[in-house]
A and B are shown apart, each in its own frame.
Chain A
């Protein structure tokens, strides 16, 4: 069974940093591309970053580009999201997600349970 468990969320002040982790199990992590998404009542579900299985390709939404960095450790079956210069609008539930698909068209196949990040003074 695929399991994705996020951790590291919490309350931070604007301008501060936070690092989210996602522990993966139940599948061959080193062969899987992974994503981070977030959800707010105002904007709904938003994709924010992608990392290929070997970390050679990383993509970011414009809303987080230059502030967030995604990485992974395939030896530890773990995915990370380093969030710097946090803003109030980054307040959201953050999900790590495994994608599946073919021919370069991949959908979100498995979601973690989510972790809440609150940015407030």
Chain B
């Protein structure tokens, strides 16, 4: 089970966002983050805890290991307000967290 916190994060453009994902068991480095905007499909942001997918801006960074993981957006842009999901792919079946909604304050 993946537990994301907070459920909702209200911040202003330019601020730093810190999103958390906690796994109920050790998933080692097999953790990814996805971004989903309203009415759109999710988009892969980060895999292997900290590797950015192609085209993902450097303001997105991931860290952590084992059971505790963090996604940081260093300086929020208007297009970053969305829902973020973590995904573990260490154990079958792959599972996702319930999401953190990042909204404009």
Contacts and interface: CB of A to CB of B under 8 A. Distances in A.
A113 B41 contact: yes
Given A47-B94, A47-B95, A107 B89 contact: yes
Task: Bin the interface of chain A by size.
Answer: 10 to 19
Contacts of B40: 113
A114 B94 CA distance: 19
A54 B92 CA distance: 20
A111 B42 contact: yes
Contact of A105 (B43, B89, B95): B89
Contacts of B41: 95, 111-114
A89 B34 CA distance: 24
Contacts, number: 52
B84 to A, nearest CB: 12
Q: Is the interface of B mostly helix, strand, loop or mixed?
A: loop
Contact of A61 (B30, B87, B93): B93
Contact of B96 (A45, A100, A105): A45
A45 B85 contact: yes
Contacts of B85: 44-45
A94 B46 CA distance: 22
Nearest to B94: A47
Contacts of A100: 47
A38 to B, nearest CB: 11
18 contacts: A44-B85, A44-B98, A45-B42, A46-B96, A47-B94, A95-B41, A105-B89, A106-B89, A107-B44, A107-B47, A108-B32, A108-B34, A108-B44, A111-B34, A111-B41, A111-B44, A113-B41, A114-B41
Interface of A: 44-47, 59, 61, 95, 100-101, 105-114
Q: Would you list the 5 A-B pairs with minimal beta carbon distance, nearest first?
A: A45-B96, A111-B41, A107-B32, A47-B94, A107-B89
